[in-house]
Structure 1
Amino acid sequence: MEYILLVIGFALLIKGADFFVDGASSIAKILKVPPLLIGLTIVAFGTSAPEAAVSINAAMKGSNEIALGNILGSNIFNLLLAIGITAMIKEIKVQKTTIVKEFPLSLYATLMLFLLSVDVYLGGQGENIISRSDGLLLLLGFCVFLFYLVEMAFLSKEEKDDFGEHQKYSISKSIIFSIGGIIGIVFGGDIVVKSASTIAIALGMSQTLVGLTIVAIGTSLPELVTSISAAKKGEGDIAMGNIIGSGLFNILFVLGASAAIHPVAISPKLYTDIILLFIITSVVYFFSTTGRTIDKKEGIFLTISYVFYMIFIIIRN
């Protein structure tokens, strides 16, 4: 039964993402807002809903390794596999604003996560946790990110933007497509995570491994299918904005809210993953600056890197 539910979940994710990209792109045209902004906000926050639901729920139940492992695993999955596969299908063009502002924000957020998690090393006592005050600090960072997006929205109204050949629907149809798509994404992600987690735990996997693999991959499938769908439709801005926005949303809002509800203890194993996330973000940032594109060869490199990462964490655990 769990395997049947897994297939149903995948179907909901894929079709939901397709509808969501159509609706979000159409809304961008109607409001004359650049697709990048839609990718950084509506699409990114919508596709991160499964991560938020899983991590906050896990934090409330005291399952810290799943809560933080889900966030780290999801961000690594998005940067390596989602961008990698998307680039292999179609070269991703990266806007200047993404290189100058969004990527540095991602690096700052990851560095902030690392610094907040090393209490013992910095203070010399206690345990390494993301405390409630740390959670509020991350949420403050999220508010700053939202302020930047609002400012970007106002500035974009003064600019002419090329929205490609994507179809523009009526506002009512666009909203229906977007809402219907996000419902499919959220329910599909929830079904996939629950069924896959049940299967994985039955096989004797640890919470850390479940969080970094099955749960992270399951909650990141919306980002993957949405980015691939956006790339196929020529909406590269939505694809890239979706990944970066989701990463920032996961660290600043999902982890911030989780820690504000219940302090998140840090497993020593996860420090390696935090450092790897910073390195991976830097590598993708570097690829983006070379010709302002991520091409097929770079996509292959990122995809293969994810395979090696999976092998590493399976052996480690």
Structure 2
Amino acid sequence: MYYINNGLFLSIMLIQILILIIGFGILIKAANYLVEGASSLAIKLNISQTVIGLTIVAFGTSAPELIVNVLASVRGSSGITIGNVVGSNIANILLILGVSSIIKSLHAEKNTVWKEIPFSLLAALVLLVLANDSFFYNSPDSITSGDGIILLFFFIIFMIYVYEISKDNDFNSVIKEKITSVPKSIFFITAGVLGLFIGGKLIVDSAITLAKMMDVSEAIIGFTIVAFGTSLPELATSAVAAYKGNDNIAVGNIVGSNILNIFWILGVSAIISSIPFSNKLNLDLIFLVFISTLLFFTMFTGKKKTLERWEGILFVGLYILYMLRFIVFES
């Protein structure tokens, strides 16, 4: 912990919080630029809008998690890497789906209920198994580069699934961006990628500094502040989709993002650098498995294949209790 006078300590902390907020702002705007530019370019190239919706839009809203995790992996900040992914997935289900279903009860498609939600549950279970090496053999707990390859293998399976359903479904309602010229699309993509890097670096650097200043673990910062901030694109996308009655986008965006966060983002992060894992984080992983299972079962309570408003209120309440855990037990 930094041993400096209270006035200077407070000033430095406020500056770091401001940098964190600026980083989130840049990150979210950059993700929007990336999605708009990539979507327009793909449409110009006559790529199926179904594929665009399930890949570019989902990748775009998950881009903040990817950039933050890659930079954290390079810096060796494993706590932020794990905390960001698991914390974001928990926020996606409980907070974002919760808020979206409070705005309007969300109806899920058959494929989402029987394939995509179970696949997101599988992602949480696979991560739980891969992270706990000591449970199966005498080895330190970590997510190794070999584990990263396994995660990316599941990611490839998911992308094959996306390709297969793209041939059978009309997903035109996903693309809400206006079509721009090719040069402008390329500019948006370039600006988006650059902005993601700058915003991600600001977030990682300030998060590490705040963790040291507040004498808390990087994992806690990752599970709370960083996870919430990088989930803002999903929140904006799903909340607006729910308000406009695009239920499949609101639900599919979150479930798809959760799958990508573990299989793609954590897979890439692990290949860059093995990620040490503390068994203290098993509680959070088990909680993620629990709420992923809960999401599946809510599809069969009350109105079938629908996340109703009362269930959304329950989800948001669970998220508040989960966040209180850090205040009560980790302070």
Aligned partner of residue 269 in structure 1, secondary structure? helix
Structure 1 residues 24 and 263: alpha-carbon distance in aligned structure 2, compared to 1, 3 A threshold: closer
Root mean square deviation of aligned Cα:
3.4
Structure 1 residues 225 and 9: alpha-carbon distance in aligned structure 2, compared to 1, 3 A threshold: farther
Instruction: Give the structure 1 partner of residue 146 of structure 2.
Output: 133
Structure 1 unpaired stretches of 5+: none
| TM-score computed with the length of structure 2 as normaliser | 0.80
Deviation larger for 13-22 or 37-46: 13-22
Amino acid at match of 1:132: S
Instruction: Give the structure 1 partner of residue 70 of structure 2.
Output: 56
Instruction: Give the structure 2 partner of residue 299 of structure 1.
Output: 312
Structure 1 residues 63 and 5: alpha-carbon distance in aligned structure 2, compared to 1, 3 A threshold: closer
Aligned partner of residue 126 in structure 1, secondary structure? coil
Contact 2:207 2:221 in 1 (8 A): no
Cα displacement (A) at 1:307 = 0.9
Amino acid at match of 2:196: V
Instruction: Give the structure 2 partner of residue 204 of structure 1.
Output: 215
Does residue 278 (structure 1) correspond to residue 268 (structure 2)? The answer is: no
1:262 to 273, 278, 298: 273
Contact 2:86 2:288 in 1 (8 A): yes
Instruction: Give the structure 2 partner of residue 119 of structure 1.
Output: 133
| TM-score computed with the length of structure 1 as normaliser | 0.83
Cα displacement (A) at 1:69 = 1.4
Instruction: Give the structure 2 partner of residue 244 of structure 1.
Output: 255
Does residue 145 (structure 1) correspond to residue 158 (structure 2)? The answer is: yes
- The structure that has the greater radius of gyration is 2
Q: How does 1:1-317 map to 2 (within 5 A)?
A: 1-9=15-23, 11-12=25-26, 38-123=52-137, 125-156=138-169, 163=173, 179=189, 186=196, 190=200, 191=202, 194-195=205-206, 198-290=209-301, 291-317=304-330
> What is the CA–CA distance in structure 1 between the aligned matches of 2:165 and 2:275, rounded to whole Å?
33
Give a deviation string over 1:164-183, Cα, whole Å, max 9, x none: 99687578699589859956
Aligned partner of residue 261 in structure 2, secondary structure? helix
Structure 2 unpaired stretches of 5+: 1-14
Cα displacement (A) at 1:238 = 1.8
Give a deviation string over 1:207-240, Cα, whole Å, max 9, x none: 1211211221122122112221222233222221
> What is the CA–CA distance in structure 2 between the aligned matches of 1:93 and 1:27, rounded to whole Å?
31
Q: Taking every aligned residue pair, what percent have the same amino acid on both sides? A: 41
Contact 1:9 1:187 in 2 (8 A): no
